[in-house]
Chain A
Amino acid sequence: MHHDAVVKMENITMEFPGVKALDDVSFETRKGEVHVLLGENGAGKSTLMKILTGVYKQTAGKMSLKGEPYEISGIKDAEAKGISMIFQELNLVPYLTVAENIFLGREPRIGIHINWKEMNCEAQSLLDHLGVQISARAVIKTLTIAQQQMVEIAKALSYRPDVIVMDEPTSSLTDREIEELFKTIRDLKSKGVCIIYISHRMEELLEIGDRVTVLRDGHYVGTVNVQDTTIDELIQMMVGRTLDEKFPKEFAEIGEEAIRISHLSQGKRLKDISFCARKGEVVGFAGLMGAGRTELMRAIFGADSIDAGEIYINDKKVNIKSPKDAIKNNIGFLTEDRKNQGLILKLDVKQNVTLPNLEKITKNTVICFKEEKAICERLVEDLSIKTPSLLQKIKFLSGGNQQKVVLAKWLATQSKILIIDEPTRGIDVGAKVEIYKLINKLTKAGHTVLMVSSELPEILGMSDRVYVMHEGKITGELTRQEATQEKILHYATGGESFE
């Protein structure tokens, strides 16, 4: 045992009914280190951290904190003992201010009154310390997702913890904000705080991590020093096999035009947008957060109404007023937020897959269960969705498998044009590659894919052509050969054409 051990988890086993989520896992972190926890979805990272923060009680194994035995009754208890967790999902009250959220439930008081001055003051100093320009008096709802993430971090810091667990903290941050976050992490490190960092972004791990512990299928694989390892080695530890490429792009034969958007406008959000996409083509949409990419996709799909513009599918003008119309025109839409917009978590795999497709398998208003089952079984196999049965509730699947279920939904409706918005957000390397391979399969079958992504390597790796958006306009179009990170960023920040 290392003399500076902060958290020590030994031989942890966690069993849920029918699943062994963790099997004899040991994990140890030291004072002042950034310890990265790496693994595919379903590897057991979240479960391990939920045990550490008292959300779950382990079936077997013991824990210690700074050499003392560590027993825990819940998150509040963990925070009191010096372990804070920043969850992937934001847990802020939208209508309260930043300061109110940070000190929710433990507001400084004078008698029975809240000491507003002290509360705002302390909150502001936490934020300033993080180097972010957010007012402690701002209402959460008015902040961007990235700013809200920084508030979560400030909240965690307000407990003055010894250990901070960060679950994918950068998934909604811009590069500049990530830089700020890393600065804060380094600062915390120098003060002896131990950070457990969960992320899927390999480059990030190498930049910020000191040591990496890899889990796979609930088992401990190993712990390595970041200096002594490579991305390839880590990937191999994670998936148990080498991945030749991160982006296994295969080129399909590009056919006729499948969809054309002409002069589409929507309030101040989308301004005079025209573009086209052909059969067999992956068209990437790059841009900064808030550039209007998601809004454009929602408008095409009929989720939001438009003020002007036409949509042509196979050179025929179509009238899309609702998602139902879009589906009739063989458009599918994988939303960026799969839990709130893509899936119905309380329903099972089968019910989710066939939801947009129910009309086609209904005879005299009665759902044909046999056909439904056949469709689902085929897709579960084709997409290798890992689920114990078709009747498993979606909420119990891992993120990667949930995303595959969303894809299965649109494949079941035989979508010819598939809009995918952040298709690999929050899913691990192995599942990402599987999604990319599915994209290849789709384009080979003559489908058109419109892909919105905030990860530039993904845009560059998978697109045949790239449109760049800035403030609701398309500011640039690049072929695969022309596209580089620099050019995309140039257009994404409103830069003029290069000629």
Chain B
Amino acid sequence: MHELSIARSMLDIVREQMARHGAEKLRSLKIRVGEMTAVEPQALLFCFEACTKDTPLEGAALDIEVVPLAGRCEECGTEMRIEGYSAQCPACRSASVEHISGHELAIVSMEVDKTDA
């Protein structure tokens, strides 16, 4: 259940950013989670709600974009969607495939209300 640690790291960044921007209320948070990460979106959502309860961040919406796993053939450069975590180039059958997306775990953006607004 490392989604709890991940939710905490995420909220540390959010609080820092809110302080930096003089923001008072968090309305929503958009994050990107790659299919290849060991992060379960439902568990992360649950931990996000648990960690924000009774804090100024309570009630913020968490929008999770799941990024599919994709790769590029290291032999011929063909790009492909990787299904079932196992990759083989559809063009040249090479198994040397580098992942180009699907490992993301990042905050994309946040919507806040500022004190002076």
Partners in one complex: no
Q: Which residues of A contact B (CB under 8 A)?
A: none
Q: Which residues of B contact A (CB under 8 A)?
A: none
